[in-house]
Amino acid sequence: MSIGRWQETSTADGRKVGALALPQQDREQLTRVVATVNSVRKLALPGVVPIADLVGHSGRAWLISGAPVGPSVAELETRLTPGTAATVLSDTGQTLIRLHQAGLAHGALDASTVVVSPAGVALLSEVGVAAAAAGRQPTAAEDAAAWADLARRIGGSDQTLQVVAAAAAAGLETGLRVLAAHASALPGFGDRTALAGLPKQPEPIAVPLDIPPPESTTLLPGAATEAAMQAAPQQPAAQQTAPRQAVPQQPAVSQPAVPQEHLATQMARRTTEPPVPQPTPVERSGDGVLRFGQGPVATPATPSWTPPPAAYRPPKKSVFKRVSGLIGSLFSVLLVLGIVYVLLLRFLPELGIPNPMGLFSSTQITGVTVQKVAVTTCNTQADVVGTVVTNGEPGTFAYEWVDSDGHRSGRLDQSVRKGEGSVQVHYYWGFSGKGSHKGTATLNILSPVQLTANAEVTYSCK
């Protein structure tokens, strides 16, 4: 759930920015929030609300975005069509995948923490902030469950989005694959103009513009946190002389770039800075020539000591010797790299790492079977299991799945460890709606030999 509502205000140069007040926090909580905001900013993901700064004002911390933030999906929920809802799920799901790959997670994902930009892109807001304030570590599994709940909420009664929500129970990647396979049939999916046409900017809630300089101290990077915590509004005016910085100009694009790490945001305020002293003009001499420095300097006297003899220099090597030495060194390096390459290719399968080139593979395929599957649950997916029998030697084999509806998985590589007499490979076939369907799933072994096996897959929903 969102920790607050984004508001609109102005910088010192009149540029509009977004501001979000964080709840009251102690020093330890604020330190964690600063570290989390810094980690997310360094990724510079296009699917996250770009944070320009984190500042202190009136004893509270404020998130500052580079541009006004659009309305949340919770505000637009009643106006979403199945196509625009699928676009929101696609945008947020892909951004979550990239967050998880970087070792981060959102921790508070729902319709109130997803906003729609003026360009029609769904952006994640407040990434990791609520979890950092609470002192807990969010997980990718938590985000996947929240994404499935979001799909159920904004999907309404649409069967396709409900199937996507059910598939997400097996993982976020599975939910995105099912969404990619079926969402293209939804009118308006991927149409940024349709999604951008939904927001109607609410009346901005003004943030007080006349902010004393000490109360707008930047909290980024983390070293400035303690100074910001100690900034008190009741400080006498004579002591309020802290320097101020202005928000750096953002490029005029739909998603503003994140400013440099050590730049701070300053809200619009009265100008009290002393004028910058002007340099004294350079004067010309009578002959019109500009003079610099201290003038001519007397030539130093020659030293009375005798310099030591020059150091011995060995004779230069001939061109032939230098070239032959360079070739010998290059040959040695190539020899070492070749040996390392051969050893890696030989032992990659034993380490469980696929070898897509199939070199030095001892695996032989002796048989392949596919199990028959009957699905009697509505709006679910069939797990088709293929069993590949091997000679138990380490190596790699290539395979692909093809179903009777015309879908192909493409070439896939599977590693085999030493001693594994059989390996199972899976194919997930999603079904939705009422009725029955009978199809065939075919497993093709592409290398080292070409084998084929298939089985019947039935679906029944009453």
> pLDDT tens digits for 429-454?
998 888 999 999 999 999 999 999 99
**pLDDT of 219:** 59
Domains 73-196 and 365-461 share a fold: no
Higher pLDDT, 286 or 242: 286
Helix axis angle for 172-182 and 159-167, nearest 10°, is 150
Quickly state the pLDDT bin for 298 (edges 50, 70, 90): very low
- Give the 3-state secondary structure of residue 275: coil
Q: Is the pLDDT of residue 382 over 80?
A: yes
Q: Phi first, then psi: give them for residue 176, nearest 5 degrees.
A: -70, -35
Domain spans, the chain: 73-196, 365-461
Q: What is the mean pLDDT of residues 34-57?
A: 89
> Do the beta carbons of residue 217 and residue 228 sit within 8 Å?
yes
Contacts of 286 (CB under 8 A, 6+ apart): none
Which CATH superfamily is 73-196 part of? Transferase(Phosphotransferase) domain 1 (1.10.510.10)
DSSP letter string over 147-197?
HHHHHHHHHTT-HHHHHHHHHGGG-HHHHHHHHHHHGGGSTTTT-HHHHHT
CA separation for the pair 160, 144 (Å, rounded)? 18
CATH 2.40.50.100 fits 365-461, yes or no: no
Confidence of residue 13 (pLDDT cuts 50, 70, 90): confident
Q: Map 93-141 to HEC letters.
A: HHHHHHHHHCCCCCCCCCHHHEEECCCCCEEECCCCHHHHHHCCCCCHH
Burial (CB count within 10 angstroms: exposed 0-12, middle 13-18, buried 19+), residue 50: buried
End-to-end C-alpha distance for the chain, whole angstroms: 37
pLDDT bracket for residue 296 (50, 70, 90): very low
Question: What's the pLDDT score for residue 153?
Answer: 93
The confidence score (pLDDT) of residue 234 equals 36
301 membership: H or E segment, kind and range: none
Helix (H, G, I), strand (E, B) or coil at 410: coil
Average pLDDT of span 190-213: 61
Residue of 393 and 263 predicted with greater confidence: 393
pLDDT more than 90, % of the chain = 37
So what's the pLDDT on residue 223?
Answer: 38
Euclidean distance between CA atoms 66 and 248, whole angstroms: 9
Q: Are 150 and 179 contacting, i.e. CB atoms less than 8 angstroms apart? A: no
Q: What's residue 454's pLDDT?
A: 95
**pLDDT (0 to 100) of residue 253:** 35
Condensed to tens digits (0 to 9), the pLDDT of residues 181-198 reads 988 889 989 888 888 888
pLDDT at 237 over 50: no
